[in-house]
Amino acid sequence: MTAYGIDIPAQGDVYLIRHGATTWSKEGRHTGRTDLPLDEDGIKAAMSLETRLAPINFRHVFTSPLQRAYKTCELAGYAAEAVVSDDLLEWDYGDYEGLTKDEIHKTDPGWDVYDRGAKGGESVEEVLMRCRNFLKQIQDLEKPVAIFSHSHFLRSFATVYIDEDIKLAQKIQLDTAKVSVLAKSSLGNVIVSWNA
C-alpha cells in the first residue's frame, strides 16, 4: 500500500517487525542470544521504519530485550512506549550459535531448527510455548500491536497465530527490517502481508 509516496504496510492486527541487519545476519550466522548491535545498514533500515510505520496508530508495542531488536524499535520511534518481553527473544541456538547452516550441516546433516530445535539450546516445543504464551498476552489487547523481534521467533509466532504446523516457518523468508502483518478474518487468523 502506498500513500503520499511512502510504502505503508497493509492493515492488520499484529505487525511483526524484524530487527535491522547485523554483521552476523549478513553472513547467515545463527544469532540467538549473542547481543550484537545493528551495523550501519541496519541502523539506516531501522530509521526508515519510522516513516513507514508512522501512519499506523499502534495501541501496544513490544520488543525483544536484545539490542538489535530494541534499537530497531527505538530508531523506528517506539522505545518510549515499548514493553520489553523475554518471550520475544530469538531462538536459543545453543551449540549452533554463530554458525551458518552449511557449517552445522557438516556435523549434523539435514538439520533444521524447526524440525529438531537446537542442540544445547531450545527445543521446538520450548519455542512454541513462548509463542503461545505471548499470543495469550496480546489476544485481548486493543489492536493494532507491534512486535519487534527476530527472524526464527517471528516466523514461529506467525505459524502459531494462524494455527499451522511450525514447519511452515521453513518456507517463509523474513529479511531484516521487514514488516509482516497478521489479522483476524472471517477465515480465522491469517497472514495479510509478509516480508514487506
Interval 48-106: pLDDT, tens: 999 999 999 999 999 999 999 999 999 999 999 999 999 999 999 999 999 999 999 99
* Environment class of 5 (CB within 10 Å of its CB; exposed 0-12, middle 13-18, buried 19+): exposed
What is the average pLDDT value for the chain, to the nearest integer?
95
- Mind listing the pLDDT tens digit for each residue in 136-174? 999 999 999 999 999 999 999 999 999 999 999 999 999
Instruction: Respond yes or no: is residue 142 known to be catalytic.
Output: no
For domain 2-193, say whether CATH 3.20.20.70 is its number.
no
What band does 8 get if pLDDT is binned at 50, 70 and 90?
Answer: low
pLDDT in tens, 91-109: 999 999 999 999 999 999 9
Residue 72's nearest CA partner among 99, 94, 48 is 48
**Which phi and psi angles does 36 have, rounded to 5°?**
-85, 145
pLDDT band with cut points at 50, 70 and 90 for residue 117:
very high
pTM of the model: 0.94
| Residue 1 confidence (pLDDT) | 45
Name the catalytic one among 30, 74, 90, 97. 90
> Is 19 an active-site residue?
yes
| Domain ranges within the chain, ordered by starting residue | 2-193
Report which of residues 5 and 105 the model is more confident about. 105
Rounded distance, CA 41 to CA 126, Å?
32
